[in-house]
Amino acid sequence: MYELLIFLTLLILGYSFGQISERRHYRSIIEREKQTLWMPVMTLKTVPPQITRCHTQLVSGNVVISIDFFKKFVAGLRSLFGGRLQSYESLLDRARREAILRMKESALEIGAKVIINVRIETASISKSSSRNNGIGSVEVVAYGTALSV
Amino acid sequence: MGLPFRSDMKFVAKQIPEGINTSPDHPLKELLLLLTGASLLLAVVFIILMLLSDLLVRYIPEETERQWFSAARLSFLQQESPAEGMIAVEHDLARLVKQLNPPETDPARYSIRLIQSDTPNAFITPGGHIFVTTELLQLVNSENALSMVIAHEMAHQIHRHPIRSMGRGVVIAVALMMFTGVDGSEWVSDILANSIQLGLLAYSRDQEREADKTGLKLLTDYYGHASASSDFFAQISQHEKFSQSGLSEYLSTHPNTDERLLFLQQYESGEPGELIPLPDSITSFLDATAQAKSETATD
């Protein structure tokens, strides 16, 4: 009974704080994406032939977002049935967009206009969270070549 | 903005709409769906497993059960050299078992032991080993009342309750181990374990009722009446009201004392039958312990 109470408290805390921070994060992502929308981010490997003279510079952005207890529990239940881990989807979405935003922001700092050859890497949530007491988190690194004219 | 592109290759900034990489469903909706699904699935799996184990355990011959749980194998049966007077009491208890046992069955399916304990309790383990505590003897006033307690435990063995609940326990333990093994998050299995214990308690109440019924039949078959059959339970519920401690052990294995009291009392109504006093060995044993107690109290 005592354990159940602790569990419910953790679940409610995880849910409320997780939801609050997720909503706040999405608001900030959407706002910042609008501000940097003009800057093209491409996966082209080479400098486009249209660009004749430019400086190149490696820029990167990375982010680590932790899962909350609620998401972990829902994902644990989901593993009984299979299907989309909906509770983790928003985490990966947030992490990817935040990493690209941070990369763009560092490109802005050096006055770049375009980022090419963008690569995105991620670490899996489930591998790190299945280990006992491991903190499940999603880690995304975005990097690319910033071109400033 | 002065982007470094030729004018025939325009970059047009477009915002990608939301909700493509995430699910629009509310997270609580998913939790609710999954919880319902998981509990249904598990309920079905466990009910099937329990029914199967119940079905199969019946086919274990009593002789095999006795071999598995023979006194030679159970170390706790050999420990404890009985205090003075306890051997004589055990002889009389064995006599009661033989009396109550219907002639067509072998009385060797039971063994009975007296154990020193401050808790009034009687229980039976797989293999037909009945245990009666010394404190229980204090709470019975006649051979009939004591016989009812013993008959109740014998009835458990007649219905094969001990080995059946043991089989259920083994099956559930194995199933839980499988779930814990498959699923990494230990919280899920913890919750399941708790909910299953509640289910077991309800089941064992049915078994208690069954054992009361059969025990009552053994009692009336021998004595010809059911008088004093509720004595012990009346004493227990009396105790229950005064002291909360000490009885928890009996109550956890024999729930709902008041309910069975009513059940037994309805059989006692009518002509009260003749009560047989407790055997001499028990009364002298009780006197000796009472004396020993008062001596230590004066010291």
Where is average pLDDT lowest: A82-96, B141-155, B189-203? B189-203
The b/e string for A52-91 (b: 16+ C-beta within 10 A; e otherwise) is eebeebebbbebebebbbbbbbbbbbbbeeeeebbbbebb
* pLDDT score recorded for residue B71: 67
Of B253 and A109, which is predicted with more confidence?
Answer: A109
Using CA atoms, how far apart are residues B213 and B221, in angstroms rounded to an integer? 12
pLDDT at residue B180 greater than cutoff 60: no
* pLDDT score recorded for residue A15: 94
pLDDT at residue B1 greater than cutoff 50: no
* pLDDT score recorded for residue B245: 46
Chain A residue whose CA is closest to B24: A86
* Burial class for A21, CB neighbours closer than 10 Å (0-12, 13-18, 19+): middle
Interface test mutation site (partner B, options A74, A97, A127, A133, max chain B beta carbons within 10 A): A74
Q: Is the separation of the CB atoms in A132 and A98 below 8 Å?
A: no
Residue that has been written with the tokens 């299995």 in this structure: B189
Residues in chain B closer than 8 A to A128 (CB atoms): none
Residues in chain A closer than 8 A to B182 (CB atoms): 79
Partner-chain contact A70 B31, CB within 8 Å: yes
CATH of the domain at A17: 3.30.110.70
Using CA atoms, how far apart are residues A34 and A23, in angstroms rounded to an integer? 17
* pLDDT score recorded for residue B193: 54
What is the average pLDDT across A20-39? 95
CA trace torsion B32, B38, B39, B40 (10° rounding): 110
Using CA atoms, how far apart are residues B158 and B163, in angstroms rounded to an integer? 11
Partner-chain contact B187 A7, CB within 8 Å: yes
pLDDT at residue A29 greater than cutoff 70: yes
* pLDDT score recorded for residue B189: 54
What is the average pLDDT across A22-31? 95
pLDDT-derived band at B260 (thresholds 50, 70, 90) equals confident
Q: Where are the domains of chain B?
A: 33-270+278-298
Of B114 and B236, which is predicted with more confidence?
Answer: B114
Q: Which residues of A touch B (CB under 8 A)?
A: 1, 3-4, 7, 15, 19, 30, 33-34, 37-38, 40, 48, 50-51, 54, 70-81, 84, 86-87, 89-90, 92-93, 96, 113-114, 129-130, 147, 149
CA distances from residue B223 to B103, B143, B261 in whole angstroms, order as listed: 14, 10, 20
pLDDT-derived band at B287 (thresholds 50, 70, 90) equals confident
Q: How many CB atoms lie within 10 A of CB B128?
A: 25
Distance from CA of B201 to the nearest CA of A (A): 15
Using CA atoms, how far apart are residues B252 and B256, in angstroms rounded to an integer? 9
Residue that has been written with the tokens 């935040």 in this structure: A98
Q: For chain A, how many structural domains are there in total?
A: 1
Q: Is the separation of the CB atoms in A81 and B20 below 8 Å?
A: no
Partner-chain contact B21 A93, CB within 8 Å: yes
* Domain extent at residue A57: 2-148
pLDDT in tens, B181-206: 544 445 455 554 554 444 444 446 77
Average pLDDT, whole number, for chain B?
77
Identity of the residue in A87, A130, A147 whose CB atom sits nearest the CB atom of B184: A130
